[in-house]
Amino acid sequence: MRIFNLDKTYNIVCDTKSTRNGFKHVATLHRNGVSIFETKCNYINRTWERFTYETILKDVVKECFIDKNLKKYLGVIKKES
């Protein structure tokens, strides 16, 4: 499990879980400690991400932030990776 702090209000908790055919990444967006959004991404065998959880983190940010914070939070994710 890994926690990505976007700012004082938001953080994303990422985890890897086994599945029957491979594994999945699960990400939960929290606002002030309360879960407000969750998504998952399944993988069969291998991931080609530049860093662990890259795809799922981008999915959460793009789904939940469509304003000026989108670029800001994508930048934070790259710095924390």
Tens digits of residue pLDDT in 24-49: 999 999 999 999 999 999 888 766 77
- pLDDT band, residue 72 (cuts 50/70/90): confident
Angle CA(56)–CA(38)–CA(43) in degrees, nearest 5? Answer: 40
Alpha-carbon dihedral 43, 62, 36, 56, rounded to 10 degrees: 20
What are the tokens at 62?
A: 């793009």
What are the tokens at 13?
A: 């908790």
Is residue 21 over pLDDT 80?
A: yes
Residues of the domain holding 71: 2-80
Predicted TM-score (pTM) of this structure: 0.83
Q: What is the C-alpha to C-alpha distance for residues 81 and 77, in angstroms, rounded to an integer?
A: 6
Q: How many domains does the chain have?
A: 1
